[in-house]
Amino acid sequence: MDRSKLQALESLLRIEGGSDGSLVPDCSILSCGCLVSESYFMRNLRDESEPTRCPVCGKSEVVVLSEIKPLRELYKLIQKWTAKYPRRERKRSSARSNHSSMSENENEKAPEYMDLMSLAYEVSQTNISSAVDSKSTAIQGTETLESEKNKSDHYKSVSPIDNSVIQTDSKTSGTRMDVSDEFTRREYNFSKCFPLYKKLSVFQTQQIRFNLLAGNPFKGNNIIKPTSFLGNHMYSYIDHESEEEVTRFVLLARKRWELYEYVRSSKYKPTYNEKPVLICCGKSTGQYGKDLNSYTEEISDEVAIKNDFSGFRSSTRNSKALREVVSKKLKEWEFIYCKISKDLLVIYGTKGVMRVFNISRKKPSSTLGKPLYTYITDFPIRCVSISPNEKLIASAIMAKERVSNKEQPFIILHKLYQDGDKSQVASVEPITITLPHRDPIKLIAFNKSSTHLLCCTSWESTVLIIRLYDKESDDYKRPRLIWSENIYSRRKPRLSSDIADDNSSSSIDLNDNFLDELITDLEFSSFRPDLFAITFSSLQNKYSAVIQIHSRDPYLLGEVNKSSASDPDIQSFDNINNSMESSGDTKSSYHSNVVSSEILTRLPEIGSTVHRVCISPRGDGMAFVDKSGRIYLVSTPNSQISMSKRISVQLGEAANADRFLQSASINFSPDGGKVFAVDRKGVFQVFDFTKGIPGVDTDVIKCKLLNTSKG
């Protein structure tokens, strides 16, 4: 007999007149017309003080008319079939997901093969079913008058409709679908899909508009095309208070920025926002609002600092002279690039201006997009980065030394002091770090614990690691260069145009004379803190690589405060510095240096013009975006041991970019089950590996396989 047909027959024996939701072996009809279990009805007659009532409709003075022989014979047939085939081999109810059916069909075809994930999934499903069966057996064994009265009272409120059997069955199956079962299902789907199969969702944040004032608004000249943005950045995290998975991305134009939010429930409930929603926006002048049609004038209570590296630094909230300088700069400057974190948005641009904005969900919605801090210098800002604990903001500039009057790269650490409720920045302390190089700093990135800086230079492609904490104090005023290595040199004469002209309208065209961008992105791995990925865009076949650092520094290796390392808000620099006080200078120096480094693997299959990289929090894959907009996924399932075996696929495509600052941003979801991408045209894409099973769900499609490497 077909399993689906048998399941439909079983639903006929689950009636409301039974003791619980199990099959009724002795179905009978009452004088009121309702079907009940005869044994259950007769047990209710033991209490002679109350009139006999129907447990379904509640009508009094009812009697048993006759038994329903076809249903009783059906029960015997089902029992015989059940004894022949155990329950765990039968198909689940329709409330089960499709992957359960496919898993069982696969087991029937090849019962001798089962991988570890399939075995774990099968065991969890069997345990859930056995737990429900034992619970129903215990309910059947409890036959007290009080429990029977409560059930009878419960049935009074239920009307005797034809689909009552289906409702009871859906309630029983619904209790089995708890959060842990849904989590197991998604993990099972991930094991079947990653990295070859995905479900793709595409959202357009910018729409084509028509000039309705024109005579014919549908003519080509009257169509207002969507905005093409200069840059973008993305960040994903879990909001533990609301139990939501939040993905935010910012789109940056020359004079305007827009912040979008894509929210999903971390408990695997239906999506809150079916598409990205614009939550705030702003202008270069400081105006901000919830949408493009409602802007709020800037309230001048932010912290403003002007630093000209002449030994004098002005910092105040209410200084009229400084306010005039800031106001003049804000009218002239244009955006270059931005970085986003959980609560902060940092934008830097021309005229040596960097601004920090509030995007926290915890703060009042009226302050969303409000400027918190403005930093102004007379030298161009080349790049910025936000620490994971949001206490530091690093920016790189190219200035002139006062003594030698030569150009020198500097890194400015902006230490933020926030109020108790974190609603506003109380003060900021800039800390200047001088580097022993003449080459400008191109990129900066913090590690997961916010204790080290990873940066690279523009021309010589030198990669540096700077230790920020100090054993004696927590003011971060004694940073130390612990590793420096030249990865690849441009080997071209340096021109005067490589220094950004502060009077130009934009400084993003620094290297237009060269097609080689060299290093375009770098990122520390959160799964293995001793690894970082680096990407190249070069015409000389310089491929992206993964580099491992051999060090004795427990902070660089992620061996300090592992319990709190997953949450950047918990770990603080104070704990780090206090834990180093017991060590001497020699010992501290010995344990903080990088002993050696090695290139674990190169990735020639994704080409030599890669702009972006993102490492999965699971440690089993990396996502890349190249110059043409192609999005790649490199699976490294054994990254904890070796990265020699990998599978490379092409996930999809985004808008192309001439320069790496304009390329699409990519990010993994906090659980590593999805890859997000947003490009300069405002197209947001979600590549989901947990939505279904290949061959069962039609939305799950195959990725383009590039190659499978074994070395």
Is residue 298 within 8 A of residue 312, CB to CB? The reply is: no
Cα 378 from Cα 363, distance rounded (Å): 33
Lowest mean pLDDT among 362-371, 390-399, 411-420: 362-371
Task: Tell me the sheet residues that pair with 399.
Answer: 408
Residue with tokens 């770090």: 433
Q: Which pLDDT score is estimated for 72?
A: 86
**Residue 237: which pLDDT band, with cuts at 50, 70 and 90?**
very high
- What pLDDT digit, counting tens, does each position of 305-362 carry? 998 766 555 555 557 788 888 889 999 999 999 999 999 999 999 999 999 999 998 8
Which residues have CB under 8 Å from 681's CB, separation 6+? 206, 226, 228, 229, 655
Q: Which pLDDT score is estimated for 50?
A: 65
Is residue 613 within 8 A of residue 544, CB to CB? The reply is: yes
Residue 591 has pLDDT above 60, yes or no: no
DSSP alpha helix (H) spans, 297-403: 320-332
List the structure tokens of 600.
Answer: 């674990």
Which three-class secondary structure state does DSSP give residue 191?
A: helix
Question: Nearest 5 degrees, angle CA 189-CA 192-CA 198?
Answer: 75
Burial of 24: CB neighbours in 10 Å, binned 0-12, 13-18, 19+:
buried
Is residue 63 within 8 A of residue 30, CB to CB? The reply is: yes
- What pLDDT digit, counting tens, does each position of 425-445 carry? 888 999 999 888 889 999 999
Q: Can you list the positions of beta strands (E) in 525-573?
A: 531-537, 545-551
Question: Nearest 5 degrees, angle CA 581-CA 587-CA 590?
Answer: 130
Residues of the chain by 3-state class (helix, strand, coil), percent to 5: 25, 35, 45
Q: What are phi and psi of 87, to 5 degrees?
A: -65, -35
- What pLDDT digit, counting tens, does each position of 35-89 carry? 888 888 887 765 555 667 788 887 887 888 888 888 888 888 888 877 766 554 4
Q: Which pLDDT score is estimated for 463?
A: 94
Looking at every residue in the chain, the average pLDDT score rounds to 76
Cα 373 from Cα 392, distance rounded (Å): 13
Is residue 36 within 8 A of residue 23, CB to CB? The reply is: no
Task: Tell me the sheet residues that pair with 701.
Answer: 198
Cα 385 from Cα 356, distance rounded (Å): 11
Query: 3-class secondary structure for 53-120?
Result: ECCCCCCECCCEEEECHHHHHHHHHHHHHHHHCCHHHCCCCCCCCHHHHHHHHHHHHCCCCCCHHHHH
Neighbours of 428 (CB within 10 A): 21
- What pLDDT digit, counting tens, does each position of 26-50 carry? 888 888 888 888 888 887 765 555 6
The rounded radius of gyration (Å) of the Cα atoms in the chain is 32
Phi-psi region of 410 (alpha: psi -120 to 50; beta: other; left: phi over 0): beta
* Chain length of the chain: 711
Is residue 611 within 8 A of residue 631, CB to CB? The reply is: no
How far, in Å, are 11, 59, 63, 144 from residue 42 at the CA level?
23, 16, 10, 13
Sign of the dihedral defined by the CA atoms of residues 362, 368, 373, 379, in that order: positive
How far, in Å, are 456, 586, 600, 679 from residue 538 at the CA level?
16, 41, 20, 21
Is residue 53 within 8 A of residue 62, CB to CB? The reply is: yes
If one compares 323 and 498, the residue with the highest pLDDT of the two is 323
Mean pLDDT of 357-385: 89
List the structure tokens of 100.
Answer: 């359960």
Spell out a b/e string for 88-118, using b for 16 or more CB atoms within 10 Å of the CB, else e.
eebebbeebbebbbbbbeeeeeeeeeeeeeb
Residue 113 has pLDDT above 60, yes or no: no
- What pLDDT digit, counting tens, does each position of 643-686 carry? 667 899 999 999 999 999 999 999 999 999 999 999 999 999 99
List the structure tokens of 353.
Answer: 């201006």
Q: Can you list the positions of beta strands (E) in 139-293?
A: 197-204, 209-210, 223-224, 231-239, 244-252, 256-265, 277-283, 288-291
Residue with tokens 């801090």: 373
If one compares 698 and 136, the residue with the highest pLDDT of the two is 698
Is residue 421 within 8 A of residue 439, CB to CB? The reply is: no
Cα 43 from Cα 218, distance rounded (Å): 77
Task: Tell me the sheet residues that pair with 412.
Answer: 395, 432
Which three-class secondary structure state does DSSP give residue 6?
A: helix
Is residue 454 within 8 A of residue 533, CB to CB? The reply is: no
List the structure tokens of 402.
Answer: 């006062």
- What pLDDT digit, counting tens, does each position of 161-211 carry? 333 333 434 433 443 345 567 788 889 999 999 999 999 999 999 876 555
